[in-house]
Amino acid sequence: MAKHLVDKIGILGGSFDPAHKGHLTISKIAIRKAKLKKLYWIVTKQNPFKKKPFFSLKKRLTKIKKLVGKSKIIEILYLDGIIRSSRSIDVVKYILKKKKPKNLYFIIGSDILSELHKWKSWKKIVKLTKLVVFSREGYDKNSKGSIVI
């Protein structure tokens, strides 16, 4: 049986354009509530559902590193070149294969929940991970009608 490198890992993905204190706040809550040992901020160059990013990838990564600081639990990863994809399902599969967590938490906001059914292999993401949805003002009403939950 494969040894689990870390029992509980979280993924918070996005273009982080820009990264802000809200990302950090939900990260800290997720770490505390789910008892995460590691939380990966997966930065993508381009969100397939958004127009061209406002900040360059380099500038976004710089801002993210400054925001996260010297956290031992939050780690910034840019995987687009490694896995040749920015799709969440490919990120989930990569983390499961490389890190072999016992539990993988997929963290999103309620704004994403109402759109999740449009994502490639969204059912597989939900099956392979524990979906964690954070409330976002103005989006909760729409997300309650999501076919995902």
Taking only the tens place, the pLDDT of each residue in 43-66 is: 999 877 778 889 999 999 999 999
Q: What is the dihedral of CA 134, 140, 146, 149, to 10 degrees?
A: 40
Q: Determine if the pTM surpasses 0.85.
A: yes
Q: How far apart are CA 42 and CA 16, in angstroms?
A: 9
**Pick from 51, 39, 43: nearest CA to 6:** 39
- The tens digit of pLDDT for each residue in 83-141 reads 999 899 999 999 999 999 999 999 999 888 988 999 999 999 999 999 999 987 766 56
Helix (H, G, I), strand (E, B) or coil at 133: strand
